[in-house]
Amino acid sequence: MKSNPRLSKYLISNAKNYFAEAEDFVTLTEKFLVPGRDVWFDMILSPLIMVAMCIYTRSPPDILSAMGTYKTIQIWLEWLKYKTVKARLMEWKQIVDASGGPFISTNNPNYLAYVYADGMQRLHNKTFSRLPSRPTSPQ
């Protein structure tokens, strides 16, 4: 494989633990791929009910509503993280496919994230093993 300067720049600017992101993706996929009623209720209906009750009673939200709002914000942050990691995984897929990968396979489509994390880690190791090592001073 020839050295690709764009790939090297990508690997330098996006140096991370690929397997940790793959783990996040698998965990969040289990939660959001086919979300249950409770997820949609907490994300959409619960905030609408809280706003309607505040308008109906003409009073500010109480402490229970604030705790529900906190839970809603946490779920929306997890949803955004899921979408971000999913987009990053699609980038990995394109990079690994373009470099002749994937280098391993799986029969379970739920774990394809690990296949592409492995490919990115291999590309990372291969790219940075070519760099000349810095001489160390004797101690």
- pLDDT computed for residue 82 by the predictor: 94
pTM as predicted: 0.77
b/e per residue 59-72 (b: at least 16 CB within 10 A): eeeeeebeebeeeb
pLDDT digits (tens, 9 = 90+) for 38-83: 888 888 888 888 889 889 988 888 888 888 888 899 999 999 999 9
- pLDDT computed for residue 5 by the predictor: 75
Tell me the domain boundaries of the chain.
5-34+73-129
- pLDDT computed for residue 139 by the predictor: 53
* 26 contacts: CB under 8 Å, gap ≥ 6: 110, 111, 113, 114
